[in-house]
Amino acid sequence: MSSQGTQISNASFDIAKLIDTIDFAAKKHSYQKRKDIARTPYINHPIGVAKNLTDAGVYDLATIQAAILHDTVEDTETTFEEIEQQFGQKVRNIVAECTDDKTLEKAEIKRLQIEHTPHLSKQAKEVKLADKLYNLRDIKREAPIGWSKERVQEYVIWAKKVTDGARGTNQMLEEQLNEIYSKGVFEFQGEQYKCHP
Ligand SMILES: Nc1nc2c(ncn2[C@@H]2O[C@H](COP(=O)(O)OP(=O)(O)O)[C@@H](OP(=O)(O)OP(=O)(O)O)[C@H]2O)c(=O)[nH]1
Ligand SMILES: [Mn+2]
């Protein structure tokens, strides 16, 4: 037995890093809500994306940290420098790969996600798959406020194009996505949406 409190094991260190990351993201997203009727706290999404990863057997700490931080730069005042300083370059790089350039037009951002995804690192592809899996499941539960059937349809077709570009990365995540796109049909509130243009 080592002297308690003086020696911190690697596992304890990893737990502390993980909690630091969740605390950081929770503070950054604290004023943000999801677009559902209940206005769910936004932080539920990055935590859920990280859970999709561990459920699929991804335990690499930097990948889990990047999942928790993946929307901070895009949607809050956070900078990449801040992330690098607190969590290191590895985490920063994965977050950067998953961050859209919000100065561009929405259609261009969407087009670039489809174009860039096949060229991302394995870690960033895993985060992408887990992110879209979470958002598609969220839509199945309840579409964002004000979304028409056409908007749901457009999102499903786009999300499939993005996740198709990350295939060959994680079998469990891909199987869960396959279930959602089952036989090319996304079911939501008794309606059937196609998954291909
Ligand atoms: N399904 C769902 N989505 C919600 C909700 N609240 C916020 N979102 C976010 O909305 C995005 C989809 O809406 P879009 O119209 O495509 O994009 P927008 O955010 O630019 O309006 C998703 O982002 P994304 O581009 O797919 O990825 P990311 O930004 O999360 O990384 C998702 O994270 C919600 O209640 N349900
Ligand atoms: Mn996200």
Pocket test for ligand 1, best of 35, 75, 145, 163 (most atoms within 8 A of CB): 35
| Average pLDDT score over residue span 87-101 | 98
Q: Whose CA is nearest to atom 33 of ligand 1?
A: 135
Q: Which pTM value belongs to this model?
A: 0.95
* C-beta 155 within 6 A of ligand 1: yes
| Average pLDDT score over residue span 78-86 | 98
ipTM: 0.94
* pLDDT digit string, tens, across residues 6-34: 577 899 999 999 999 999 999 999 999 99
Selecting among 14, 55, 60, 74, the annotated active-site residue is 74
pLDDT category, 5, cuts 50, 70, 90? low
Verify whether residue 142 is a known catalytic residue.
Answer: no
Percent of the chain topping pLDDT 70: 97
**Per-residue exposure over 140-168, b if at least 16 CB sit within 10 Å of its own CB, e if not:** eebbeeeeeeeebbebbebbbbbbbbbbe
Selecting among 60, 75, 82, 100, the annotated active-site residue is 75
Contact 46, 71 (CB under 8 A): yes
| Average pLDDT score over residue span 139-165 | 96
Distance from residue 10's CA to the centre of ligand 1 (Å): 36
Residue closest to 45 by CA, chosen among 113, 132, 159, 134: 134
Q: Where are the domains of the chain?
A: 10-194
Q: Which atom of ligand 1 is nearest to the CA of 151?
A: 15
Quick one: 10-194 is in which CATH superfamily?
Hypothetical protein af1432 (1.10.3210.10)
* pLDDT digit string, tens, across residues 111-147: 999 999 999 999 999 999 999 999 999 999 999 999 9
Q: Of 17-21, 88-92, 177-181, 185-189, where does mean pLDDT reach its minimum? A: 185-189
Distance, CA of 160 to CA of 195 (rounded, Å): 7
Separation in Å, CA 70 to CA 94, 105, 168, 193:
8, 20, 21, 28
Give 138-141's long-range contacts (Cβ < 8 A, gap of 24+).
138/34, 138/36, 138/45, 139/188, 140/180, 140/186, 140/187, 140/188, 141/36
Q: Which atom of ligand 1 is nearest to the CA of 36?
A: 35
Tell me the one-letter amino acid at 6.
T
| Residues paired with 192 in a beta bridge | 187
Distance, CA of 63 to CA of 68 (rounded, Å): 9
Q: Phi and psi (nearest 5°) for 87?
A: -125, 0
Verify whether residue 75 is a known catalytic residue.
Answer: yes
* C-beta 41 within 6 A of ligand 1: no
Q: Half-sphere exposure of 36 toward its Cβ, with a 13 Å CA cutoff?
A: 15
